[in-house]
Structure 1
Amino acid sequence: MHLIKIYLIVILLSNSILYGQLCTIHGFIKDAQTGEVLISAYCYDTLSLKGTTTNSYGYYSLTVPKGKVKLSVSYVGYQNATLELFIEKDSMINFSLYSIPKEIQEVVVNQNIPLHQQVLMGKTTVPIQTVASIPSFVGITDLMKAITFLPGISSGQEGYSDIYVRGGDRGQNLILLDGMKLYNTNHVGGFVSLFNSNIIKNIDVYKGGFPSRYGGRASSIIDISTREGNQNEFHGKLNMGILNSGGLIEGPLNNKVNFILAARTTYYDLLNIPARRSYKNTGMGSYFSYTFYDINSKISWQPSDKNKLYLSIFTASDISGSADAAYASFQESITESKLKIHNIGVALGQQYILSSGMFIKNSLAYSLYQNQLKTYDKQRYHGSSEINSYTSLSEISDLTLQSRWEYYPSSYHSIKAGIEVSMYNFNPGLNRSYSFNENANHITDTVVGYRTSIQAYENNIYVEDDIQLHAKLRLNIGIRGTLYHVGDTNYLNAEPRISLRWLLTDNFSFKSNYTIMNQYNHVLVNKYMVFEREIWITSTKDIPPQRAEQVSVGWFYTNDKLKMDFSIESFYKKMYNLLEYQPPIDKEDNKNNIDNIIAKNGKGKAYGIETQINKSQGRLNGSISYTLSWNYRQFANLNNGKWFPFFYDRRHDLNVRSSYVIDKKYTLNANFVLASGTSFTMPVGYVKTDNFLYGYFDLALVKKWSSRKGRNKQFEINIFNVYARKNPLYLYYNPNNGKIYQKTIFTIIPTISYSIEF
């Protein structure tokens, strides 16, 4: 406490002494054509040699000596802007940058801040150009798959868009979309992510070095922000592929209000209309139906230069069904099922400049995840019939209020502080089983699970300081305090965070960090056919919060001549109070007694080395990343209490991504993945299957051109798994011969797509 007081006194004294000699220039840096703010744009005074970058909302604040200043503003892919003026008081100056014409622009996909200069180790900003350039499953651009090309992040099973970060499971990732917490991120049972790349503006991925403004998950943070729409003119885009299509429209409603709307859907259901119509009319036959859609919309209102409000809405659904009916002289068989997975998110936010160097962001966000399963089975034989039906509903919703304050007292110092309050409603499962036996004239109607929702409250307060103590030494230090309340149980935790960056040379740095994260909401994953259903449960008196402690160190180098970044990181993570399903699992699990279906109080440890080479400019760009890691779990009532490898413990994981510009129209994109097999359960225990290598090679040829009317067009040929490798979706054991067999679904999949902008 004494150290904190001394620190505050020093800051206040230094600010008061310098106040009469300095002034602050602040404002927004935007794209001149669209009005979209530019994140991580650089503003530099060439006279005082002071500089800063814009925050996540395009806002910058630069404190300089009074008098003459010469500002230079830059952003990759845009023409530099310069401004020379004499300044005697705090001033707000906005900049609009013009993009470099495509004909003369060198291919660039990076942000302005070199990797070795960033303070937060483990943070990566994934450019949307990178997401769009990666060949993907069935030709649908996939943000989550792009993230798996970062070292330390793996994709899990074949074709799935789930991610597993540094030994964590899929439920330990906090995924934010404009501040909305998402509890499910996939379509098609996990094969395609929910995120429409046409509307995404920025993606920040944290796998370590978490700043204190984030919390609630144990392994990673993925913070996604969407575009606000063109403020100057109307634009649109249409995408058409083999399995899905989508569209986007954006533009101004007046000089202060603009909007953007994007949607995608699949038309697989159109292929089976005859089968479904025949089943409906005759009551005979069979069919399988599936459809998905997602819609993003955002409207922004800027009543003044210092004040902006926005409303962001997101909704997505997956609906699958099947039916089979057959009749004979003395026999009837009818089987039907339907699964619906639904996501809704709404965020209302305000960005406000209170004074020079003081930026405020307030938001209210609501999120809902729901899955519902219905099955019906009727069997009749010689006049006697039996009917069985089953319904299951699971959902989670949250309402989160957040206020964040950012203060920039100088170019070497920035403080962020805020509060975050969340109210959760959990319904882990309400199941109804109905059975009627005509021969016995017996009816069974059973309801198990939670008839009412469980409410929980999470209250957070945080503060973090990014401060330069020396020309070569910079720190990001903070703390987050949380009070979690459910029923008559309270959990109070403090989470210290510290990240350090030491510049060894102008292009070479050493970084380290230490973080503590607590997670109060837990996910259990159950499968139905190829689809996965998440069941979210809250921490209670008997289920303590998960806890992760992580330390990591690394070395980072930037070669300006080659336009390449090199990094090597090592990490060690310990996890506590983990959960796992206890086998066996089936749809009749009684959610009233969680203890019957989960193993609690587990421990985990993960450690490894991650390396990456990244080239972000030139005709040939891409990355090579390799991870060597170990990942273990321990539960008292699993594996006889012994440590065992986690299911996604991949010893080796190699990812290669490349993009080559052939000429002004054609680009060739490719990626290659090779990884160790995952662990699985044998009747005698857990087995590591390094001999089952997982790998694939994808290609995409992209043609871009403009029509005579100036409309941008794109045609793409995408080939998933070029050499048709049969990767195992899962393995199974045959007790009759003692052999292990693999099940493969996907081999080579070619697709085409076309888009046009207007």
Structure 2
Amino acid sequence: MSKIILQFLTVVALWCVAHQLVAQQKVTLSGYINDAENGEALIGATVFVRETQSGSASNVYGFYSITLPPGQYTIEYTYVGYQPLVKEITLNENQRLNVEMTGESQQLQEVVISGERVDANVTSTEMSTNKLDIQTIKKIPAFLGEVDVLKSIQLLPGVSTVGEGAAGFNVRGGGVGQNLILLDEAPVYNSSHLFGFFSVFNPDAVKDTKLYKGAIPAQYGGRIASLLDVRTKEGNSKRFEANGGIGTVFSRLALEAPIVKDKSSFILAGRRSYIDILAKPFLQDLDDVGLSFYDLTMKTNYNFDKNNRLYLSGYFGRDVFKFDENQGFNWGSKTASLRWNHVFNARLFSNFTAVYSKYDYQLEFGEDARDRFTWDSDVTNYMFKPEFTYFVNNYNEVSFGGSIIYYTFEPANAVGISDGERIDISLDKKYNLESAVYLSNKHELNDRLSAEYGLRYSMFQYLGPGTAYEYGEAVPGERKPVVGAREYDRWETIQSYSNLEPRVAFKYQLNASSSIKGSYNRMAQYIHLVSNTTASNPLDVWVPSSNNLEPQIGDQFALGYFRNFGEGNDYEASAEVYTRLTKNQVDYIDGADILINEYLEGELLSGEGRAYGLELYLKKNVGNLNGWISYTLGRTELQVEGINDGDWYPTRYDQTHNLKVAAFYDLNERISLSGNFTFVSGTPTTFPTSRYVVQGILIPYNAEGGRNNVRLESYHRLDLSLRLEGKKMKKGKERRNEDYWVFSLYNVYGRKNPFSIYFSQSDDRVSPGEVINTEANRVSIVGSIIPSISYNFRF
């Protein structure tokens, strides 16, 4: 496998060298684009050459490259929210030109929804992609007044959740475990604090958030639904800066400063909730009960010279839920990313990344040391990614590289002690190796037609040591029996898989303000999130593909129409249709036992899935009143032998209608209002269709064996927020202190949205022969209006 990767990269490198020799009659302008105030790299800034009417954009590290014939040129640098920068240059040889752009003060009070050129939604090849600038995220009304990245992206078309308190999010009918979430290239396996009410991403440390719902570039793989790419700040390389806030639930503080001015900097951001502290006066008899979380985000960088930059970032966070001094559970994530940017020459840019990521949880309960139960579980991975970008010319940008990931899964390290007797029910660890190589090209074919096409080849190995079980046949929908087992030594391959994953996207420019885009991508997912609860929870289990569990395969097609209106592209509109066909989707037999089960694979069923829908999006970019409206009409279904008589049935997160409205209004320089409204069709759930009575106890029963046969009531909610800016205090020539208050109302009209419904038997005594009464009970996580206030500062 390593030989295949090496041969692939060697061939691509030789091709680049050959092309370099052929193109020696041209010269290249390259460099980095940064914020003049804090030195942060500007992602997606536009570089436009007036004489040739061509251009490029900076990558995620702020690097750009343009190849031109020798001569004199006028180069225009633009980025939304920043003053345009124009440079007159003479190009006779390759030239490095780093630029710093200054923010436009008159736009500070306006919401910046995208950090790209104003017509990028029409002219770029990207589709099924949304970006939210952190300044926009901070304007959106949030639960208990706390800004949250994941809650904000749920206002975008095609993105949903099954309700309040649900961890993660669903994209175009995909499951929570089918989203690849990256924090500075490190995968995050559980992205939520407090059972889904807040995300693990500290807004004071986040620089850029980008969601790919389709048309996913070839360098990414491993999940079949979406990619959420979160990039953190590098830290202010010009001066010391502090950001923070004091809120209803938690407080936060971020410090950033140069280590060596304009050469090295750092950022350190932390949060700590204090629900447990505030609740103590009301829980005098339960002093040890508490629910809290904390996290720490860190990053530093160093510029060795104009061709070498090093970045080191990390995250550590934990949630703690204590029932008393001896009982409770906790969960959390750790990540670390080491990245080295190296510029080989003006056209060849590289990034080498080493990543460590771990998610774990611990559960313990029992009265004393003689009667106790403990359970630990984790998933850990080590990853290395070499990535290269070769700027062939202004019409071709080639990307190539690879990745290798080593996984360890510990499903259960579980020990029970009963009356002093120790019982070990731990499960064996599982070991896996996933690798991939890719090659893609961004190609501008002519003035109207451009495309991005590529190929990814992924491989997966299920490795020893361990025991591989063989399961026999069973009636569809019933538990499969174990018929054999085999022991494997360390590094011995138990099962291997490989897949070709083609990617293609195109854009056809109809005119200056409208275009048609289309895309197709195939994705392979080799790990599975096993959960039969209403929503993802911290105790869910990640399992790898094996000799009994095949990888998930997803094929997605999308077609869209994009249009801008107004003289300055004041309005953006888009309409996209999509369909995704999936194989080897995991579901469960009735009554499946998925926790600490050595024979879990016998409880799982595999089938096909389909998701299709229409997404409409209208956005107003400028003015005192701005925001967006999104609507999604969609359907998500599964077909699994042994469930629902083999017929198609809706998934738990199928939502027919999904309407989101976000609006922002600036009353004046100090006061701004914002609001968002959500309406979502009720999600499916399974209700019993009959019942029987055993010794006076009523037992519900699903006679037809249907799955998700009833829908809950529709979900709708209105949130409002008021932001009051403090008076700006200047210090020195450039520095200034800023602060602001946020007053918010969550669930303004107190809607009791159903999260789930369960049935219970009446407590009334029943005479022999009389019918036993039952009642349906609706569970609402948030059933009233929730006011909040927070104070935020920057100096």
TM-score calculated relative to the size of structure 2: 0.86
For 2:78, which of 68, 74, 78 is the aligned residue? 74
Q: Distance in 1 between matches of 2:112 and 2:436?
A: 39
- Change in 2 beyond 3 A, CA 1:748/1:250: same
Identity of aligned residues (%): 30
Aligned residue in 2 for 1:467: 443
1:742, distance to aligned residue in structure 2 (A): 1.4
User: More deviation in 575-584 or 484-493?
Assistant: 575-584
For 1:83, which of 60, 84, 87 is the aligned residue? 87
1:376, distance to aligned residue in structure 2 (A): 1.0
For 2:335, which of 342, 345, 349 is the aligned residue? 345
1:546, distance to aligned residue in structure 2 (A): 0.8
Aligned residue in 2 for 1:333: none
Q: Distance in 2 between matches of 1:539 and 1:313?
A: 28
Aligned residue in 2 for 1:698: 719
1:466, distance to aligned residue in structure 2 (A): 0.6
Q: Distance in 2 between matches of 1:341 and 1:552?
A: 37
Structure 1 runs of 4+ aligned residues shifted over 4 Å read 7-18, 102-107, 272-276, 526-531, 687-691, 734-739
Contact 2:549 2:601 in 1 (8 A): no
Q: Distance in 1 between matches of 2:496 and 2:92?
A: 53
Q: Distance in 2 between matches of 1:700 and 1:133?
A: 8
Aligned residue in 2 for 1:259: 266
Q: Distance in 2 between matches of 1:687 and 1:458?
A: 34
Matched to 1:617, the amino acid is: V
Aligned residue in 1 for 2:790: 753
**In the alignment, structure 1 residue 447 sits paired with structure 2 residue 424:** yes
- Change in 2 beyond 3 A, CA 1:526/1:650: closer
Aligned residue in 2 for 1:373: 363
Contact 1:364 1:400 in 2 (8 A): yes
For 2:585, which of 578, 601, 624 is the aligned residue? 578
**In the alignment, structure 1 residue 719 sits paired with structure 2 residue 723:** no
Contact 1:275 1:286 in 2 (8 A): no
SS of 1:449's partner is: coil
Write the mapping of 1:293-692 to structure 2, written as runs, cut at 5 A. 293-323=294-324, 337-377=327-367, 388-436=371-419, 445-451=422-428, 453-487=429-463, 488-525=494-531, 532-561=538-567, 563-584=570-591, 589-596=595-602, 598-683=603-688, 684=702, 685-687=706-708, 689=710, 692=713
- Change in 2 beyond 3 A, CA 1:565/1:529: closer
- Change in 2 beyond 3 A, CA 1:236/1:694: same
- Change in 2 beyond 3 A, CA 1:585/1:605: same
Q: Distance in 2 between matches of 1:299 and 1:8?
A: 31
- Change in 2 beyond 3 A, CA 1:264/1:13: closer
SS of 1:77's partner is: coil
Q: Distance in 2 between matches of 1:40 and 1:350?
A: 20
Aligned length in residues: 718
Once the two structures are superposed, residues 192-239 of structure 1 have per-residue CA deviations (whole angstroms, 9 ceiling, x without a partner) of 111111111111111111110000001000111100011011010221
Q: Distance in 1 between matches of 2:15 and 2:22?
A: 11
Matched to 2:383, the amino acid is: T
Q: Distance in 2 between matches of 1:708 and 1:8?
A: 54
**In the alignment, structure 1 residue 178 sits paired with structure 2 residue 184:** yes
Aligned residue in 2 for 1:269: 276
Once the two structures are superposed, residues 77-119 of structure 1 have per-residue CA deviations (whole angstroms, 9 ceiling, x without a partner) of 1111111122111111111111112478755332324211221
- Change in 2 beyond 3 A, CA 1:533/1:102: farther
1:47, distance to aligned residue in structure 2 (A): 1.4
Aligned residue in 2 for 1:730: 756
1:531, distance to aligned residue in structure 2 (A): 5.4
- Change in 2 beyond 3 A, CA 1:738/1:555: farther
Contact 1:677 1:689 in 2 (8 A): no
SS of 1:424's partner is: strand
Once the two structures are superposed, residues 353-412 of structure 1 have per-residue CA deviations (whole angstroms, 9 ceiling, x without a partner) of 11011110001000000011111147xxxxxxx974322211000000001000111111
Write the mapping of 1:105-120 to structure 2, written as runs, cut at 5 A. 107-113=111-117, 114-120=120-126
Aligned residue in 2 for 1:439: none
Aligned residue in 1 for 2:777: 741
Q: Which has the higher strand share?
A: 1
- Change in 2 beyond 3 A, CA 1:649/1:107: closer
For 1:200, which of 206, 209, 212 is the aligned residue? 206
1:76, distance to aligned residue in structure 2 (A): 1.1
Contact 1:571 1:607 in 2 (8 A): yes
Matched to 2:329, the amino acid is: L
Q: Distance in 1 between matches of 2:324 and 2:712?
A: 39
SS of 2:277's partner is: helix
- Change in 2 beyond 3 A, CA 1:485/1:8: closer
Aligned residue in 2 for 1:36: 40
1:614, distance to aligned residue in structure 2 (A): 1.1
Once the two structures are superposed, residues 436-495 of structure 1 have per-residue CA deviations (whole angstroms, 9 ceiling, x without a partner) of 2xxxxxx654322324x2110011100110101121111110011111111221111110
Contact 1:216 1:517 in 2 (8 A): yes
**In the alignment, structure 1 residue 134 sits paired with structure 2 residue 140:** yes
Contact 1:286 1:322 in 2 (8 A): no
Q: Distance in 1 between matches of 2:649 and 2:533?
A: 23
Once the two structures are superposed, residues 300-332 of structure 1 have per-residue CA deviations (whole angstroms, 9 ceiling, x without a partner) of 0001122100110100000110139xxxxxxxx
SS of 1:211's partner is: coil
Contact 1:108 1:618 in 2 (8 A): no
Q: Distance in 1 between matches of 2:238 and 2:641?
A: 62
Q: Distance in 2 between matches of 1:12 and 1:401?
A: 24
Matched to 1:751, the amino acid is: S
User: More deviation in 616-625 or 169-178?
Assistant: 616-625
For 1:217, which of 215, 223, 243 is the aligned residue? 223
Q: Distance in 1 between matches of 2:774 and 2:552?
A: 38
Matched to 1:482, the amino acid is: S
Q: Which runs of 5+ in 2 are unaligned?
A: 1-11, 464-493, 689-701, 731-735, 762-771
User: More deviation in 728-737 or 212-221?
Assistant: 728-737
Contact 2:109 2:669 in 1 (8 A): no
Q: Distance in 2 between matches of 1:9 and 1:361?
A: 18
- Change in 2 beyond 3 A, CA 1:271/1:691: closer
Contact 1:676 1:689 in 2 (8 A): no
Q: Distance in 1 between matches of 2:248 and 2:499?
A: 50
User: More deviation in 225-234 or 739-748?
Assistant: 739-748
Matched to 1:266, the amino acid is: S
Q: Distance in 1 between matches of 2:727 and 2:374?
A: 52
User: More deviation in 8-17 or 737-746?
Assistant: 8-17
